A and B are shown apart, each in its own frame.
Chain A
Amino acid sequence: DADVTQTPRNRITKTGKRIMLECSQTKGHDRMYWYRQDPGLGLRLIYYSFDVKDINKGEISDGYSVSRQAQAKFSLSLESAIPNQTALYFCATSSRDRGFYEQYFGPGTRLTVT
């Protein structure tokens, strides 16, 4: 079984709709992240959370919100989706098991906003 899972894997939605992307992990890590990936722009950090009560904005948080329901769950919401939020979204967790913070990525959610 995958350690970091994301649902849905693919989603097509219309402009103005509210949508939630979910991330779950069985790795027991405290730190979780949401990124988006666009062609030619690389991975950009949207939000990150170091524990259930600690949530922080990343470099591109406008138009997004998050909820850390439990250590294992971190959800990303688009309150009113717009076409330029069409992207590949990744959730990640991290730990210092190897002496440095290595990030483990989920399989991604491909979101299309029409």
Chain B
Amino acid sequence: GQNIDQPTEMTATEGAIVQINCTYQTSGFNGLFWYQQHAGEAPTFLSYNVLDGLEEKGRFSSFLSRSKGYSYLLLKELQMKDSASYLCAVSGSYNTDKLIFGTGTRLQVFP
């Protein structure tokens, strides 16, 4: 079967660092995505990893280990506006590019 697991909720303090983990078991793998979704709004693209290692983009970084079926999203210098849900999604096939989404991690940032 296909399964993507991530924590349901996390909390953190403004200015801190938080790591959101995602583990996956899929029949194929053609990359892992992280999306940010503010309440009631559309998901927006944050990152894409297809090779092992860390991809850094400003305050956000994403890591992938294909052998472990594991990824994390690292958010540094947290701001109040980072309060949102973070969706992990796996592309299982090159030809179809269909995404399988996890249920999302709701992050609340407190002052």
How many A-B pairs fall under 8 Å by CB? 48
**Do A43 and B101 have beta carbons less than 8 Å apart?**
yes
**Do A101 and B42 have beta carbons less than 8 Å apart?**
no
Tally of B interface residues using CB under 8 Å: 21
Give residues 76-111 of B contacting A (CB, 8 Å): 87, 89, 91, 96-99, 101-104
- Hey, which chain B residues are within 8 Å of A45, CB to CB? 98-99
**What does DSSP make chain A's interface, helix, strand, loop or mixed?**
strand
**Do A100 and B31 have beta carbons less than 8 Å apart?**
yes
A114 to B33, CA, bound (A): 35
Chain B CB count within 10 A is highest, among A40, A42, A56, for A42
**Do A106 and B101 have beta carbons less than 8 Å apart?**
no
Given contacts A103-B45, A105-B43, contact A48 B98 (CB under 8 A): yes
Given contacts A101-B91, A102-B45, A107-B42, contact A42 B102 (CB under 8 A): yes
**Do B48 and A100 have beta carbons less than 8 Å apart?**
yes
A65 to B38, CA, bound (A): 28
Given contacts A42-B102, A101-B91, contact A31 B44 (CB under 8 A): no
Chain A CB count within 10 A is highest, among B41, B44, B48, B97, for B97
A105 to B43, CA, bound (A): 6
Give residues 15-34 of B contacting A (CB, 8 Å): 31, 33
**Do A42 and B104 have beta carbons less than 8 Å apart?**
yes
Shortest 4 CB-CB contacts between residues of A and residues of B: A101-B97, A105-B42, A42-B103, A43-B101
What are 22 A-B contacts defined by CB distance under 8 Å? Answer: A40-B103, A41-B103, A43-B43, A43-B87, A44-B101, A45-B98, A45-B99, A58-B98, A88-B40, A90-B42, A94-B97, A100-B48, A101-B91, A101-B97, A102-B33, A102-B45, A103-B33, A103-B99, A105-B43, A105-B44, A107-B41, A108-B40
Interface residues of B (CB under 8 A from A): 31, 33, 40-45, 48, 50, 87, 89, 91, 96-99, 101-104
